[in-house]
Every structure is written in structure tokens, then in C-alpha cells.
Amino acid sequence: MSHSLVGSPFVHPSVMFRVDAVQAVGGYPSDAPHAEDYALWLKLVLRHRCANVPEVLMLYRVHGGQVSQHKLAGQWEQTCRLRRQAHAAFAQAGLPLPKGGLAVPTLWDRLHGRAGTLGANYVSWALCYRQLGQRRRAMATAMAGLRVAPLCGRLWGVMWPYALRPAHWRARLGRQPGR
């Protein structure tokens, strides 16, 4: 249960739940428009037994129009707020907390895109797009991430293979090889 305070324990489209359980906790909250699923999971794990099943029940489609991509900064801010609130609620209920308590990233962590930072979210998406072969989206995501985590080696690592391709730059500059 304490792993819920580190990140969302469930993939939203795959969740099955009892309607009465969701209604009992007030349903999806309206104060977290880009993280309402995570807010609901946090409310549910406080009052109900929840689990993931080991079988793959669905394939998750990644696309550029996802809220988690376009609203990444807002979603991250809301998730941090929800995590702080849930940490206090878990402590008050006497439920187990993650080792080390609630980690609050330092400025240095944020600049390096370390775990628990917005930069780390950009890293995850950039690597996902790179793995899917979507080079432009991977590079655009990495560049957006470098605005919040300019010292993040993993974001630079996503960009360099694309930025250093000679054919790419020759085409962009309108030059022919050997000229």
C-alpha cells in the first residue's frame, strides 16, 4: 500500500472496481483535473484492499494526444500535492509509509531529473518514444525536459543520437556530401 505514495500503482484503463467502493469515497475528485485517477486510487487504498493481477489484461496505446504528455507539468504538480496529502492521511491512519518517508526532491535533484521530479517524467516519456521509434517526439520531449532539468544526462542521451546524425543536418542545411 505504501508504494501508492511513490507513484500510481494502477494503469487507469485496466482498473476494475466495485461502483459502491468508488461511491463510498466520493468518486473521482474534481480538484485534480489531470491526476484524478491517482487521487481516486489514493482514496481507495486508504479504505479498501487493492491489488494488481499478474496477468497482462490489456495493451496500452501511447500517443501524442495523451493528457499525461500534454499536461505533464500540471499533472506532476497535482500528483506531488496528492502524495503529500496521502502521506499525512496514511500516517494519521497508522498505515505503513515508504522507507525514508516522503522524499522531497532538492533543487539539485530537479536540475538532474532524478526520481520523483518532473524531469524524470520527461525522461520516461522520451525513452518511451525512442523505444517506439518515434524519433521526433522523443527529441521534442527530451528538449522540453531539458527546460526543467538542464543537467539531466539521460535527456541529453536521448537527444544526442538524433542531433549528431550528419545526414539529418545536411538535409536541414541543404548541403550535399563533399561540398
Q: How far apart are CA 152 and CA 155, in angstroms?
A: 6
Q: How far apart are CA 90 and CA 93, in angstroms?
A: 5
For residue 156, report the phi and psi dihedrals to the nearest 5 degrees: -60, -35
Q: Judging by beta carbons within 10 Å of its beta carbon (0-12, 13-18, 19+), is residue 22 exposed, middle or buried? A: middle
Q: Residue range 80-98: average pLDDT?
A: 83
Q: Which of 3-12, 50-59, 81-90, 127-136 has the lowest mean pLDDT?
A: 3-12
Reported as a single tens digit per residue, the pLDDT across 62-88 is 777 777 777 888 888 888 888 888 888
Q: Residue range 174-178: average pLDDT?
A: 55
pLDDT at res. 98: 73
170: confidence class by pLDDT, cuts 50, 70, 90: low
Query: What's 35's DSSP letter?
Result: S
**CA of residue 116 relative to chain centroid, distance:** 9
Give the predicted TM-score (pTM) of the model: 0.73
- Residue at grid coordinates 518511451: 128
Nearest by Cα to 127 from 36, 62, 65: 62
The DSSP H or E segment spanning 137 is helix 135-148
The CA angle 109-117-82, to the nearest 5 degrees, is: 130
